[in-house]
Structure 1
Amino acid sequence: MLFNEGKIGNINLKNRLVMLPTVTNLAQDGFVTNREIEYYNRRSKDVSLVIVGASYVNIFGKFFKNQLGIDSDEKIDGLKKLANIIHQNGAKAGIQLAMHNPKFKPADFSREEVQGFIEDFAKAAVRAKKAGFDMVELHFAHGWFVNQFLSPDVNKRADEYGRSFEGRAKFALEILRKVKTYVPDLAVICRINADDFTGGGFNIEESVEFAKMLEANGANGFDLSAGVGSTSEYHISPMSVEDMPLLNLVKRIKNNVGIPVIAANKLGFAENWEQILQDNAADFIGIARGLIGDPDCVVKLKKGNGNDIRYCIHCNQACIAYILKGLPVSCMINPEVGREKEFEVKTDHPLDIAVIGGGPAGMAAAVYLAKKGHRVELFEKSNKLGGQLNIAKIPPHKGEIGRVVEYLERELRKNNIAVHLNRNVTVEEIKNMPFDKVVIAAGSVPRKINGDMDIVSYQAFDVLSGDLPEDTGIIVIGGGLTGLETAELLAEKGKSVTVLEAKDEVGDGVFPMVRKLLLNRLKKLNVSIITKATINHISDKKLSYNVDEIEKVIEFDDIVIAIGNNPNKTFNELKGNDKYSFIGDCNVMATAVEAIRDGADLSLKL
């Protein structure tokens, strides 16, 4: 059914696969850029409908640094180019109209100001039509501006735009009605929350009634999501959340309306997509992060190459996290995002290149150098590729990380790259290698704790590799992501775990959503977390530490060290010679996202 034709409003769609809206931060001062056009050009060839990401209808409602705007007529020409490229690729073009300003609440505005915002949405819809879009999507979800009016725990207005459910829905309904009045022949869909998941917020019971009201007022379809800023795990679910978390809510809404419904958020694999349609749980499959990671996922599926799809691993480290930082959208498994044209360049002077190290940086470098036209060989000292990704996939709820290694291995085979395992190459060997260039991607090594202890401690790396302490009482020294994940693994194995962290809080630098969910799980497992802890000494199975200058002692059976890694300096004497390029952790400690990006970016220079 995935490739059956469908219809939303007055637009016919060639299949049931829709590219959902995501902010890209590829615009400039709200205007469409060539990078934005290339981003959508790369992703619009096989889906039936592309919905361009949240475009602000007024400058007050601009939330992201380089968000796209549809707030002025000057932007129409650029938007027209965007709609045209989508049409040229055989898809229908939609654009999401939005505003978001979390500094304010619904009660902060006069009735006249609210009606001005309604006018802003309607005028934006007129611009969308002038630019050639077939559809607009009204953003009424995710704790954004209109969703705040819907929510009983946020909307405290005492006038007709508050007080009751009907009052809270009035703002959204008036936006819809005015848009339909201004552009009656333009299809209009509404992105709504099935549930805010905030306890006192907009819930599924109200969502069902709201959906009926929107349909009665002219909506042509629904793009269903859930969650607000504090519960964003329900609309950009990470890998720790089971697949299809919203499907039962989607079914409930679909069963109460007569217009098409688009399902969204972590919908599993292609066979799940097909089943969703067969079960009549939704009319269309919405793909957002999946098309960031693999722009070709739909054509692969259509041609019967579904096993080659680079499915999103839901890490959120380079899509959502980058966007929130004001950076252009990216992806762990696809560092080309937003830079598609740059990676199309082929070399006129193929080189023989050796890559030393088969972790994420080395594998990515080998793949992208080969794609550019170089002859590449990869040397890895262990008996398998993947480096620390092989460890990163072991903690609870992290299995999807393993797909990154699988994807990179497929790319190595596709590009006929010679891979030499169990090759612990020395500095002298590298100096004598008959290659034009050598890429050093030797990774990192675990840091060691300062001070003496009278027991042999475990490294988190070893514990995650399967070398578990036999006794029960475990202290994990280090409360970064690795330390917390190691603590979770040990606690799930029945250990009594205490985490000691020197900083004011654990999980420093971890994406907030991931940190929140991880800490919730650790709490349920009764893992004790002690912050601001300075270790004094360790002896006789007792650890002395200070918190706020007060000494405390804790007894233990075993200690696990998780205080991070340092660059591997084995090959440092080669630095400074243009023949050698250092990438990944052996150059600068970073995440897997940066390691893979570092490897890919090297191909742009060589």
Structure 2
Amino acid sequence: MSLVTPMPPSARTPIGRTTRPIAPLAVQVERRDPAPATPALLSPLRVRGMTLRNRVVMPPMGTNFALPDGTVSDTQLDYYEQRARGGTGLIIVENICVTFPAGSNGTTQLRIDHDRYVPRLWELTERMHRHGSKAAIQLNHSGASANPRRTGTPAVSSSDQPSKPGGTIPVPLDVQEIASIVQDFADAAARARRAGFDAVELHAGHSYLLSQFLSPLYNHRTDEYGGSLAGRARLIREVLAAVRGAVGETIPVMLRISADELVAGGNTIEDSLAIMELLVDEVDIIDVSAGLAMNLQYQIDRMDLPDGWRSGMARRFREKFNLPTITCGNVRDPLVAERIVAEGDSDLVAMGRGLIAEPWWVRKVAEGRADTILECVSCNIGCADHRIRLDRPIRCSINPDIVQHEAFMRRRVTSPTRVVVVGGGVGGLEAACTAAEVGCDVVLFESRDVVGGTVGEAVRLPAKRRIAIFLDYLVRRAARAGVDVRTGTHATPALVASLLPDVVVNATGAAPLLPPIPGLRERVDVPGSGVRSITDVMAHASELEELRGQHVVVVGAGAVGLDVVEVCTQLDARVTLVERLPAIAADLDLITAMQSHEMIERHGVEVRTGTSLVEVGDGWVDVRTGDGPVERIESATTFVCLGMRPNVESYAALSEHFAGTDVRVLDIGDSAGVGKIIDATAAGRDVLLALETRGVLAP
């Protein structure tokens, strides 16, 4: 074990923080214009008594930030204020419960069913108004989407149809109960007005109660609230009239609908246009969404859907009813948002997850800094999966602090501080950028010729190209912050020590896991063997055309294996998917898992769950399902995707080298335990904690 005698800070040569060259990436992306022309997007719009400063809308998205009793939390105040400070024209606060507990959605949903919630909601609107944003709130009753295990009361709906296959069977509402709910919406709207909201939105889509009356998939009633279009629309007509009476003539009333439910037997756009004819007299803005609970990947857009893919739906309503519309759907590019408004697809453009990732999206566009936007990658992990599946507060994979955002950059180290980062993956880049942005001298070593780590290789796969934009953002951010990136350099402990660091960050990632299965290790990635690891697939993604029409076996149905399956099915390969666990997609977020199941069904992938890999040969694999006999599957190519293992050697060596000194050695990202991008960026930002511990970072 070798010890390093620290050199006084005054004796160190500063690396400097001037802008440095852009570090190389395996996949290059087209850079955003820093000053795109967006006159239509940034123009004002007046609707009744509400004037918006621009056409950008933050749509309602649950956060799980509310207090357990449904009161607005301090975190919510800061969270929404940040989006207002960032220039958003209209912020529609997340859906709020009008009937408690039967209509509650989520574990910590906001409530507006009692006057005691008004004061705190007033504080919320006051925060947004202070920065020039208009504030709306979405009034909602969850219906069959409520969870009786959380609410302690049966779910209710138009009929006895669950909101999604396998969901809770609801109790059909009687006429008196319907009337009570109509009054609940009216009372909630009156409270919203007293709380200072500039508009209210009724949620009539996405498999919530009003949607469950509108959709023939749910509504099987034979009374005046069912049957014909007019019958299915009756409840919403009554709610709209009651809400209008409660808010008066100056406050806009918005209606969110699933214009196309995208499910056989559900409402099509033509159906929804006909329904809207019955509702339009009381509607000021039509919020045009799509999808239901059973196809959530089209409601909360999956990664591969293009920017603005739903804008044509909004155009149909705008043209027919001559009313302002809101559209959404993976809009990230300012020029796409501008086109949507300028060409008349929609008057307003909603960016939900985009504004979670980048609260200052509008401000950066308006100020000619669009190239510094932290662009959402539509991964749906920290936002949708945290909230819906895991009952956690929302987070973001690429923004470690969605509440305070870039506020940490105002902090500064109080004395010269050097940080050395070993590994140029997502976690390493985040740590390097963060340290440099608070005034540290930072050197980052990457043994390969390009940065990005495993994620940098994964973006070679077509479905992952949005993530390439994030990596490009990181390397440009590193250059602006003055990080000294040294690629093609193996960071030995001695080399790291020669820079006399105060903090060392080990971020050396992970490698494919190859268990001791007969025939596997001697064949994997050997030319001509037909047995390939995920790293080999990513490195040669452009050559996968050779798989077209062939039979392939993919071993492992986690995130990596399903990425490979997706590539193979796009090439019309015949795929057999082998998974040891009883179900596929166990480590995927909710949206991507639903997308994967859809892809498997559409392409007829043969799925063998509960099946273990026994042996690997040339052109075949042996597998065993449960305790059954060994079966041989012949294939042209076998992809082995059995997960990743941390690269632990570097951290062990660095820890030993700096033992007994005051140099802090951190281990982050996959080298500390294989995780997702969200884990790596969060750990990278935690370099601030190490600087605080050393006492060199001012509050």
TM bin, normalised by shorter chain, reads: over 0.9
Distance 2:619 2:346 in 1: 58
Q: Is 1:48 the counterpart of 2:89 in the alignment?
A: yes
The one-letter code of the counterpart of 1:68 is L
The one-letter code of the counterpart of 1:385 is V
1:169 Cα offset (Å) = 0.8
- 1:65 is aligned, of 107, 115, 121, to 107
Q: Quick check: 110-119 or 552-561, which moved more?
A: 552-561
Corresponding residue of 2:185: 121
Corresponding residue of 1:355: 421
1:26 Cα offset (Å) = 1.2
1:258-277 equivalent positions in 2, closer than 5 A: 258-277=322-341
- 2:523 is aligned, of 456, 474, 494, to 456
Corresponding residue of 2:671: 586
Corresponding residue of 2:565: 487
- Evaluate the alpha carbon distance shift between residue 340 and residue 488 of structure 1 in structure 2; reply closer, same or farther with a 3 A threshold: closer
Distance 2:345 2:74 in 1: 38
Q: Is 1:308 the counterpart of 2:393 in the alignment?
A: no
Distance 1:438 1:394 in 2: 30
- 2:75 is aligned, of 29, 35, 45, to 35
1:95-114 equivalent positions in 2, closer than 5 A: 95-101=137-143, 102=145, 103-107=155-159, 108-114=172-178
The one-letter code of the counterpart of 1:21 is P
Q: Is 1:382 the counterpart of 2:461 in the alignment?
A: no
Q: Quick check: 326-335 or 584-593, which moved more?
A: 326-335
**Is residue 395–residue 488 contact of structure 1 (8 Å, CA) maintained in 2?**
no
Distance 2:487 2:627 in 1: 51
The one-letter code of the counterpart of 2:90 is L
Corresponding residue of 2:7: none
**Is residue 332–residue 354 contact of structure 2 (8 Å, CA) maintained in 1?**
no
**Is residue 83–residue 355 contact of structure 2 (8 Å, CA) maintained in 1?**
yes
1:195 Cα offset (Å) = 1.4
Distance 1:539 1:283 in 2: 60
Distance 1:494 1:27 in 2: 47
Distance 2:353 2:317 in 1: 23
Q: Is 1:596 the counterpart of 2:681 in the alignment?
A: yes
Distance 2:560 2:81 in 1: 38
**Is residue 31–residue 69 contact of structure 1 (8 Å, CA) maintained in 2?**
yes
**Is residue 157–residue 212 contact of structure 2 (8 Å, CA) maintained in 1?**
yes
- Evaluate the alpha carbon distance shift between residue 399 and residue 74 of structure 1 in structure 2; reply closer, same or farther with a 3 A threshold: same
Distance 1:54 1:595 in 2: 31
Deviations 1:243-294, CA, capped at 9 Å, x for gaps: 3222222111111113211111223521122221222121111221111111
- 2:238 is aligned, of 167, 170, 174, to 174
Distance 1:125 1:592 in 2: 40
The one-letter code of the counterpart of 1:346 is R
- 2:469 is aligned, of 400, 403, 427, to 403
Corresponding residue of 2:270: 205
The one-letter code of the counterpart of 1:156 is H
Helix, strand or coil: the match of 2:535?
helix
Helix, strand or coil: the match of 1:193?
strand
- Evaluate the alpha carbon distance shift between residue 382 and residue 121 of structure 1 in structure 2; reply closer, same or farther with a 3 A threshold: same
Distance 1:38 1:546 in 2: 54
- Evaluate the alpha carbon distance shift between residue 71 and residue 342 of structure 1 in structure 2; reply closer, same or farther with a 3 A threshold: farther
The one-letter code of the counterpart of 2:93 is V
Helix, strand or coil: the match of 1:319?
helix
1:371 Cα offset (Å) = 2.5
1:447 Cα offset (Å) = 0.8
Distance 1:231 1:525 in 2: 17
The one-letter code of the counterpart of 1:141 is G
Would you say how many aligned residue pairs link Structure 1 and Structure 2?
605
**Is residue 201–residue 255 contact of structure 2 (8 Å, CA) maintained in 1?**
yes
Deviations 1:292-314, CA, capped at 9 Å, x for gaps: 11111111111223233222221
Deviations 1:73-102, CA, capped at 9 Å, x for gaps: 111111111100111101111111112142
Helix, strand or coil: the match of 2:286?
strand
Distance 2:669 2:178 in 1: 50
1:50 Cα offset (Å) = 1.3
**Is residue 427–residue 684 contact of structure 2 (8 Å, CA) maintained in 1?**
yes
Helix, strand or coil: the match of 1:44?
helix
Distance 1:145 1:89 in 2: 34
Deviations 1:546-595, CA, capped at 9 Å, x for gaps: 11322211223443221011110112434595711111111121111111
Deviations 1:449-492, CA, capped at 9 Å, x for gaps: 32221761221111121076878543322121211212332454
The one-letter code of the counterpart of 1:581 is L
**Unaligned ranges ≥5, structure 2:** 1-39, 146-154, 160-171, 525-531, 692-699
- 1:147 is aligned, of 211, 225, 233, to 211
Deviations 1:338-396, CA, capped at 9 Å, x for gaps: 35497466245342111111101111111222223333221111111111112221223
- Evaluate the alpha carbon distance shift between residue 183 and residue 442 of structure 1 in structure 2; reply closer, same or farther with a 3 A threshold: same
The one-letter code of the counterpart of 1:556 is S
- Evaluate the alpha carbon distance shift between residue 344 and residue 74 of structure 1 in structure 2; reply closer, same or farther with a 3 A threshold: farther
Distance 1:342 1:274 in 2: 29
**Unaligned ranges ≥5, structure 1:** none
Distance 2:406 2:479 in 1: 24
**Is residue 98–residue 138 contact of structure 1 (8 Å, CA) maintained in 2?**
yes
Deviations 1:184-223, CA, capped at 9 Å, x for gaps: 132211111111112112221221122222221x221111
1:529 Cα offset (Å) = 2.6
- Evaluate the alpha carbon distance shift between residue 344 and residue 35 of structure 1 in structure 2; reply closer, same or farther with a 3 A threshold: farther
- Evaluate the alpha carbon distance shift between residue 340 and residue 37 of structure 1 in structure 2; reply closer, same or farther with a 3 A threshold: farther
The one-letter code of the counterpart of 1:582 is D
- 2:403 is aligned, of 308, 317, 338, to 338
Distance 1:464 1:267 in 2: 27
What is the aligned-residue RMSD (CA, Å)? 2.2
Distance 1:462 1:352 in 2: 36
- Evaluate the alpha carbon distance shift between residue 175 and residue 456 of structure 1 in structure 2; reply closer, same or farther with a 3 A threshold: same
1:384-463 equivalent positions in 2, closer than 5 A: 384-453=450-519, 456-457=523-524, 458-463=532-537
Q: Which has the higher contact order (CA 8 A, sep 6+)?
A: 2
- 1:327 is aligned, of 392, 416, 422, to 392
Helix, strand or coil: the match of 1:318?
helix
The one-letter code of the counterpart of 1:37 is L
Helix, strand or coil: the match of 1:449?
coil
Distance 2:502 2:465 in 1: 38
1:514 Cα offset (Å) = 1.7
Distance 1:267 1:224 in 2: 14
Distance 2:322 2:462 in 1: 41
Corresponding residue of 2:11: none
Corresponding residue of 1:90: 132
- Evaluate the alpha carbon distance shift between residue 347 and residue 533 of structure 1 in structure 2; reply closer, same or farther with a 3 A threshold: same
**Is residue 5–residue 13 contact of structure 1 (8 Å, CA) maintained in 2?**
yes
**Is residue 38–residue 340 contact of structure 1 (8 Å, CA) maintained in 2?**
no
- 1:7 is aligned, of 46, 64, 88, to 46
**Is residue 441–residue 582 contact of structure 1 (8 Å, CA) maintained in 2?**
yes
Percent of aligned positions that are identical? 29
**Is residue 336–residue 343 contact of structure 1 (8 Å, CA) maintained in 2?**
no
1:326 Cα offset (Å) = 1.8
Q: Is 1:81 the counterpart of 2:123 in the alignment?
A: yes
Corresponding residue of 2:527: none
Corresponding residue of 1:535: 613
Q: Is 1:18 the counterpart of 2:47 in the alignment?
A: no
Q: Is 1:571 the counterpart of 2:571 in the alignment?
A: no
Q: Is 1:279 the counterpart of 2:318 in the alignment?
A: no
- Evaluate the alpha carbon distance shift between residue 536 and residue 92 of structure 1 in structure 2; reply closer, same or farther with a 3 A threshold: closer
**Is residue 225–residue 234 contact of structure 1 (8 Å, CA) maintained in 2?**
no
- Evaluate the alpha carbon distance shift between residue 265 and residue 495 of structure 1 in structure 2; reply closer, same or farther with a 3 A threshold: closer
Corresponding residue of 1:159: 223
